[in-house]
DNA sequence: AAGTGGTCTAGACCACCAT
DNA sequence: TGGTGGTCTAGACCACTTA
């Protein structure tokens, strides 16, 4: 047999989830019911669910059920925001959206997002502050086809995190990302918007984010002023 | 019952491993034998081993056995070396050890390594090159008591990686690390040893590494020149 | 009390490795 | 061929949540 049974079950579950069989935040049928439906034992069904829980596609709660995971503040703060104040405390940043507009994709972004030349992207510029101090300048690129109808108004008035907005409004579930970091100098724009001196050393962080099946859905380039902050990364 | 049975079995296994019951690289008794010894079912024993495999304390090989994991080049390259050439290819760095000496610990390092004031540390300075180009200047601090007998000779003549040396010569198994990254400017030393201009922007990477039970065993501060290289990090 | 996920068991069979 | 880990099953019982 090429693939183990629990891998096949995992695939069926994932297919159902991406198809929208169970909307974000709702409960799946019980493990016993799913095992019966797929014609496998509960143990095998659980092994399939285990994997999706590790990938944060599903969320188990003892006594309550198994749910399609929803992006919330904790997920964003712990998994997708790697900047800490020098005191070590993890705080949620204040996001101030400066602009949002649609434009033709540039070559670099097209390559990262696997878009054809000439495709349209939504470009959003944000300034992030921590405890009132401006620290990050963000440039976000989204494939326009996946985010039709996204306006500055909607982006600014989201009640929760950016990735929660992607998920509940556009059905785009960001599961993981890859970041590349270089040192750079502040340019005129960073100096002005972050109130720092030109040519101050900064981090340039590029992020490519993926949804189900490793499809890229967001490309961003951030510049981080690390005088009173740092970027954290776990090894091992 | 406070802790599940498989957690207790995990603890017993980990205790035996740290006690040195099975030297690094050797095989444990079979799962059936261990289950019998601990008085649990094979399923429960496997669940305990599963966790230690995820933590990379143990290594399973179908048909051969379960082994105490040994640090090798792949582990170092994929888990503990986050610098890539701009072309995206992952290459193993050339390490050139510039100095090794013992000295009294400074306040910062003492706090990180949880050492008392006045304790001795081994301080090692390395220059790392990628494809012949010097890229990183490393300052490594080790608690002297754990690394008695470590000399420049031994450090330079290790056959394998630095963490493999720690493991097989001093019984120190590095399992995970935490890194903090800031932007900085090259100083006189970086400019001289990496052949770059003074005040060029660089990354300052601080790493605290841990062994079993989250005990810190190594503290290092690196400066990385990112003109032709970048640092990678995975999110999610 | 009923329903959910979490733990644990005992055993069968398969895939792989060494000899 | 014999021993190892990998998969899969069927069922019992426990812990937790909700009503």
The answer to whether position B100 is within a domain reads yes
> Protein footprint on strand D: which nucleotides are under 7 Å from a CB?
3-12, 14-18
Residues 6+ apart with CB under 8 A from B106: none
The answer to whether position A159 is within a domain reads yes
CA-atom Rg of chain A in angstroms: 20
For the question of whether the overall pTM of this predicted structure is more than 0.75, the answer is yes
- Residue A120's pLDDT is 98
pLDDT tens digits for range A158-202: 999 999 999 999 999 999 999 999 999 999 999 999 999 999 999
The DSSP annotation for A160-181 comes to S-HHHHHHHHH-----EEEEEE
**A117 and A173 within one domain:** yes
Which of B87, B215, B233 should one mutate to test binding to chain A, selecting the residue with the greatest count of A CBs within 10 A?
A: B233
| Chain A residues close to B235, C-beta within 8 Å | 79-80, 82, 176-179, 207, 209
How close is the nearest chain B Cα to the Cα of A152, in Å?
27
Q: Residue B211: which pLDDT band, with cuts at 50, 70 and 90?
A: very high
**A79 and A64 within one domain:** no
The answer to whether position A152 is within a domain reads yes
| Chain B residues close to A56, C-beta within 8 Å | 236
pLDDT tens digits for range B148-175: 999 999 999 999 999 999 999 999 999 9
Q: Do A56 and B226 touch (CB under 8 A)?
A: no
Return d(Cα A222, Cα B201) in angstroms, integer.
16
pLDDT tens digits for range A8-18: 999 999 999 99
**B127 and B10 within one domain:** no
Q: Which of residues 113-132 of A touch B (CB under 8 A)?
A: none
- Residue B88's pLDDT is 85
**A205 and A145 within one domain:** yes
**Chain B within 8 Å of A89 (Cβ-Cβ)?**
no
CA of A181 to C1' of D14 (A): 48
CA of A57 to C1' of D2 (A): 42
Token couple for B54: 């995820």
Q: Do B234 and A207 touch (CB under 8 A)?
A: no
**B78 and B63 within one domain:** no
- Residue B30's pLDDT is 98
Section A149-153 average pLDDT: 97
Sequence length of chain B is 236
The domain spanning residue A200 has which CATH number?
Answer: 3.40.1410.10
Beta bridge partners of A235: B177
Q: Do B236 and A179 touch (CB under 8 A)?
A: no
Assign B77 to helix, strand or coil: helix
Look up tokens 């000399």; give the residue. B151
**Chain A within 8 Å of B146 (Cβ-Cβ)?**
no
**B211 and B176 within one domain:** yes
pLDDT tens digits for range B82-119: 999 999 898 999 999 999 999 999 999 999 999 999 99
**A29 and A103 within one domain:** no
Whether residue B185 has pLDDT greater than 60: yes
Sequence length of chain A is 236
Q: What is the overall mean pLDDT for chain A?
A: 97
**A89 and A144 within one domain:** yes
* Inter-CA distances, B170 with B163, B173, B178, Å: 10, 9, 22
Section A84-108 average pLDDT: 95
- Final residue of a structural domain among B29, B51, B68: B68
Burial environment of residue A120 by CB neighbours within 10 A (0 to 12, 13 to 18, 19 or more): middle
Which of B44, B13, B48 is CA-nearest to residue B29? B13
The answer to whether position B92 is within a domain reads yes
Return d(Cα A218, Cα A139) in angstroms, integer.
11
The answer to whether position B91 is within a domain reads yes
* Inter-CA distances, B71 with B162, B163, B168, B218, Å: 9, 6, 9, 15
Pairing of strands B215-224, B65-68: unpaired
Whether residue A2 has pLDDT greater than 90: no
Token couple for A236: 């091992």
Q: Provide φ and ψ at B57, rounded to 5°.
A: -85, -35
- Final residue of a structural domain among B19, B47, B68: B68
Whether residue B146 has pLDDT greater than 60: yes
Which of A201, A207, A236, A205 is CA-nearest to residue A222? A205
- Residue B70's pLDDT is 96
The domain spanning residue B46 has which CATH number?
Answer: 1.10.10.10
Q: How many domains does chain B have?
A: 2
**B139 and B38 within one domain:** no
Q: Residue A88: which pLDDT band, with cuts at 50, 70 and 90?
A: confident
Q: Nearest by CB to B176, from A80, A231, A236: name it.
A: A236
CA of A10 to C1' of D7 (A): 15
Whether residue A1 has pLDDT greater than 60: no
Which residue on chain A is closest to B47 by alpha carbon? A47
The answer to whether position B236 is within a domain reads no
Q: Is the CB of A5 under 7 A from strand D?
A: yes
The answer to whether position B18 is within a domain reads yes
**B204 and B182 within one domain:** yes
Whether residue B54 has pLDDT greater than 80: yes
**Chain B within 8 Å of A156 (Cβ-Cβ)?**
no
- Final residue of a structural domain among B47, B68, B89: B68
Q: Residue B227: which pLDDT band, with cuts at 50, 70 and 90?
A: very high
What percent of chain B has pLDDT above 70?
99
**A121 and A58 within one domain:** no
Residues 6+ apart with CB under 8 A from A67: A25, A26, A27, A28, A58, A59, A60, A61
Whether residue B2 has pLDDT greater than 80: no
Beta bridge partners of B101: B123
The answer to whether position A156 is within a domain reads yes
**A62 and A130 within one domain:** no
What percent of chain B has pLDDT above 90?
98
Section B60-85 average pLDDT: 97
Whether residue B1 has pLDDT greater than 60: no
Range of the domain at A15: 5-68
Return d(Cα A87, Cα A94) in angstroms, integer.
18
How close is the nearest chain A Cα to the Cα of B175, in Å?
6
């Amino acid at each position: 047999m090429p693939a183990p049974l629990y891998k096949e079950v995992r695939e069926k579950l994932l297919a159902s989830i991406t198809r929208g069989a169970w909307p974000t935040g709702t409960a799946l049928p019980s493990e016993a019911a799913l095992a019966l439906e797929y014609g496998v034992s509960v143990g095998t069904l659980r092994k399939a669910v285990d994997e999706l829980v590790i990938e944060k596609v599903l969320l188990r709660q003892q006594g309550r059920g198994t749910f399609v995971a929803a992006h919330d503040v904790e997920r964003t703060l712990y998994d997708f925001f790697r900047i800490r104040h020098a005191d070590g405390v993890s705080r949620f940043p204040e996001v101030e959206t400066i602009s949002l507009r649609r434009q033709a994709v540039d070559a670099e972004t097209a390559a990262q997002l696997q878009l054809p030349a000439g495709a349209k992207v939504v470009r959003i510029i944000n300034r992030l502050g921590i405890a009132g101090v401006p620290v990050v300048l963000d440039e976000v690129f989204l494939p326009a086809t996946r985010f039709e109808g996204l306006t500055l108004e909607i982006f600014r008035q989201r009640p929760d995190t950016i990735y929660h907005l992607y998920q509940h409004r556009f059905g785009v579930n960001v599961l993981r990302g890859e970041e590349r970091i270089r040192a750079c100098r502040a340019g005129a724009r960073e100096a002005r918007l972050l109130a720092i001196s030109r040519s101050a050393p900064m981090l340039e962080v590029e992020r490519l984010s993926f949804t189900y099946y490793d499809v890229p859905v967001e490309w961003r380039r951030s510049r981080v002023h690390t005088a009173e902050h740092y970027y954290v990364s776990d090894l091992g």
